[in-house]
Amino acid sequence: MVRNDLIFRAQRRVGLIPANGLGVVRRAIFWSLFAWLLIAAWTWYQGRISVPTADESPLEQQRWSERRDVERDLVPDAVSDVDAQSLYGTFEKMRPIPLAKTAVAPLVLAAALPMIGTAAIQLPVTDLLKKLLSALI
């Protein structure tokens, strides 16, 4: 945005931009609502705004909103039952922590190496070593 251009002055005249400051939050809320209203007006114009009745089940309402055939989707599916049963068996076999003990050490090492390098750059390593050696000797 360029200050004092045509759009800036128009927004200031309407009150979106205060005299002192830029009114970023105010403008963000306004333009978001404006864009939402344009979309709502277009869907109303196209005839796509309608509300399901209250006597429909939540499943029927979801399928209605996704414009799926409710009767076709209410037929039980044997493949879904088999998938659910196999997932249940898989969940029973899962460990609480999905890592083997041998896999933890490389992960810790991979996480620690960048930290060690960063600490070596940031800390005065030579001064620390001198102080440690003088304390030991």
* Location of structure tokens 């070593």: 129
pLDDT of residue 77: 61
DSSP codes joined into one string, 35-104:
HHHHHHHHHHHHT------TTS-HHHHHHHHTT--HHHHTS--HHHHHHHHHHHHHHHH--SS---HHHH
Long-range contacts of 128-132 (CB under 8 A, 24+ apart): none
pLDDT tens by residue, 71-91: 555 555 666 666 777 777 777
Please choose, from the candidates 41, 5, 45, 1, the residue with its C-alpha nearest in 3D space to the C-alpha of residue 23.
1
pLDDT of residue 99: 65
CB of 42 closer than 8 Å to CB of 31: no
pLDDT tens by residue, 19-76: 888 888 888 999 999 999 998 888 878 776 666 566 666 666 666 666 665 555 555 5
pLDDT of residue 29: 92
> Higher model confidence: residue 109 or residue 67?
109
Mean pLDDT of 113-123: 76
Residue 92 has pLDDT above 60, yes or no: yes
pLDDT of residue 52: 58
pLDDT of residue 79: 63
What backbone phi and psi angles, to 5 degrees, belong to 107? -65, -45
Residue 112 has pLDDT above 80, yes or no: yes
Supply the pTM of this predicted model.
0.37
pLDDT of residue 35: 92
Asked whether the CA dihedral 118, 121, 125, 128 is positive or negative, the reply is negative
